[in-house]
Amino acid sequence: MQKVLRIGTRDSQLAVWQATLVQSLLKEAGVLSELVYMKSEGDIDTVTPLYALGVTGVFTKTLDAALLSNRIDIAVHSMKDVPVQLARGIQQAAVLKRASHKDLFIPHPALKNAKEVLDATASEPNSLESAIVATSSVRRIAQWKRRYPHHTITNLRGNVNTRLRKLGESNWVGAIFAAAGLERIDLRPSNAIELDWMLPAPAQGAIMVVCREKDDYAFQSCQSFNNEETALCTKIERDFLSGLMGGCSTPISALAEIIGDKINFKGNIVSPDGSLISETEISLLKTGATDLGFKAAKEVMNKGGKHILDLFRNKGLTTNGEV
Per-residue model confidence (pLDDT) at position 230: 98
Residues in CB range of 201: below 8 A, 6 or more apart: 80, 137, 139, 248, 252, 253, 254, 322
Question: What are the tens digits of pLDDT across the range 237-247?
Answer: 999 999 998 66
Would the CATH topology of 103-194 be identical to that of 227-316? no
Question: What are the tens digits of pLDDT across the range 210-268?
Answer: 999 999 999 999 999 999 999 999 999 999 999 998 665 589 999 999 999 999 999 99
Strands 277-285 and 152-154: unpaired
Single-letter amino acid, residue 304: G
**Cα 285 to chain center, whole Å?**
26
Question: What are the tens digits of pLDDT across the range 81-94?
Answer: 999 999 999 999 99
Residue ranges of the domains in the chain?
A: 1-96+206-226, 103-194, 227-316
Q: Is the pLDDT of residue 202 over 80?
A: yes
Fold for 103-194, please state it. D-Maltodextrin-Binding Protein; domain 2 (3.40.190)
User: Would you name the residues annotated as active-site residues?
Assistant: 81
Residues in CB range of 34: below 8 A, 6 or more apart: 4, 5, 6, 7
Question: What are the tens digits of pLDDT across the range 103-146?
Answer: 999 999 998 888 777 776 665 555 555 689 999 899 999 999 99
Angle (CA) 192-193-197 rounded to 5° is: 150
Average pLDDT of span 139-156: 93
Q: Is the pLDDT of residue 15 over 90?
A: yes
Q: Is the pLDDT of residue 17 over 90?
A: yes
Q: Specify the CATH number of the domain 1-96+206-226.
A: 3.40.190.10
Fold for 227-316, please state it. Double Stranded RNA Binding Domain (3.30.160)
Q: Is the pLDDT of residue 24 over 90?
A: yes
Which range among 20-29, 129-138, 148-157 shows the weakest confidence by mean pLDDT?
A: 129-138
Q: Shortest CA distance to 36 belongs to which of 89, 73, 88, 61?
A: 73
Per-residue model confidence (pLDDT) at position 115: 78
User: Mean of the per-residue pLDDT values for the chain?
Assistant: 88
Strands 207-212 and 74-78: antiparallel
Segment holding 221, helix H or strand E: helix 216-221
Per-residue model confidence (pLDDT) at position 49: 41
- Indicate the pTM of the whole model: 0.89
Per-residue model confidence (pLDDT) at position 267: 98
Residues in CB range of 310: below 8 A, 6 or more apart: none
Q: Is the pLDDT of residue 52 over 50?
A: no
